[in-house]
Each structure stands twice: as C-alpha cells, then as structure tokens.
Amino acid sequence: MIHSILLNHYQTWLDDFTRISLSHGLCQQHITQWHRLAITTSPTLDGSVIEIVIPQRLLPITRTARLESCTVDPGLTKNTDYTLLPGVLLSECYRLGKSRLADQLQMLFRLHVQPGMRQTLTLLCWCELATGKDMREWYALHLPLPEMLRQWLTIKQRAYRGLKTLTEDYIRATRPL
C-alpha cells in the first residue's frame, strides 16, 4: 500500500463524503468501487512528468500504472463546492496549477446540468489529464449548446477504450436509491 499524505488526505475526504451520501440514499452502494484512488504519473506538454491522483478504475483506461511510492509535496487545496469525484478532480487541478481548467469545469458543471453530464465531464477530464493531453480545447466548452457538447464528449470518449461503458456505470452509481 502506498503511503502518501496527498493520497491519504483525498481518500479520507472522499470516504467521509461517500459514507454520508450512502447513509442518505444519495447514491448506490457500488459507488465505493469508484471511490478508490491511486497515484499515477502523467506526461506534460514540456516533456516532464507529474504525479496525479486518479480513480483506480481509470488506470486501465488511461493505460497508466499505479505508483508504489510518491514524491508529491502536497500543496493541498480542497474544493468543497463539489463533493465526491468532481471535488477531488477540481482539487487536483488546483494542486497541479491548472486553476483555469478547474474554473472552466465548474462553469461547465453549472451550465450543463443534464443528468450524467458532470460525471462524463469529470471522468473524461481525468483521462485527458492523466495522459498528458493539451487541455486548451476544454477552455471553449462553455460556448456549445448541450447537444454539441454531448457530441464532443462522445467523440473524445472514443479515444479511451472502455471509457463510455465505465462512465455509464459511474452515472448509475451516482443515482439516488
């Protein structure tokens, strides 16, 4: 088991919110399978490598490996406006110095409240971050209409084999009892 202050911090925070959500019937029991986190490496556009926290279920999709040791100095920022995985993703964006991306995601979460949209955006964004994609495309996503955004998401998901199926499972897990 990896001993990381960063991972332990996020995992404890996520476990607490998961327990509360489950006790109030706000999600399905199998959400706990989604709420196991890992640390992996991600390439950056400048050729360096960063360590990033990601849901374990996305490791095979992103073809990244779990790190057994972690050198991350946790500059911890919790995004408490959003709970569960969206909150962890936003917090990771801020920690990684990607505040503009975090702000964009929050705007998308507010603008596109259709069922499943937040979960789809969250998982796809994590895949893009973990694989070192250029995130500039994400900054114009507030402009398209919901149907155009849904089409863009579908096209982007195809780059990650199995992501669509996993996303559908995650959406089911987040539904109230």
Task: Specify whether the CB–CB gap between 91 and 77 falls below 8 A.
Answer: yes
- What are the tens digits of pLDDT across the range 144-167? 788 999 999 999 999 999 999 999
This prediction has a pTM of 0.93
CA distance 95 to 82: 16
Question: What pLDDT, on a 0 to 100 scale, did the predictor assign at position 75?
Answer: 65
- What are the tens digits of pLDDT across the range 66-104? 987 777 666 666 666 787 899 999 999 999 999 999 999
Question: What pLDDT, on a 0 to 100 scale, did the predictor assign at position 64?
Answer: 94
Using alpha carbons, select from 3, 4, 7, 1 the residue that is nearest to residue 92.
7
Question: What pLDDT, on a 0 to 100 scale, did the predictor assign at position 78?
Answer: 63
Residue 88 sits at φ, ψ, to 5 deg, of -70, -45
Task: Specify whether the CB–CB gap between 177 and 28 falls below 8 A.
Answer: yes
CA distance 87 to 65: 23
What are the start-end ranges of the H helices in 39-116? 59-62, 84-95, 99-111
**Cβ neighbours of 67 (radius 10 Å):** 17
- Residue 96 pairs with which residues in a beta bridge? none
Is the model more confident about 91 or about 2?
91
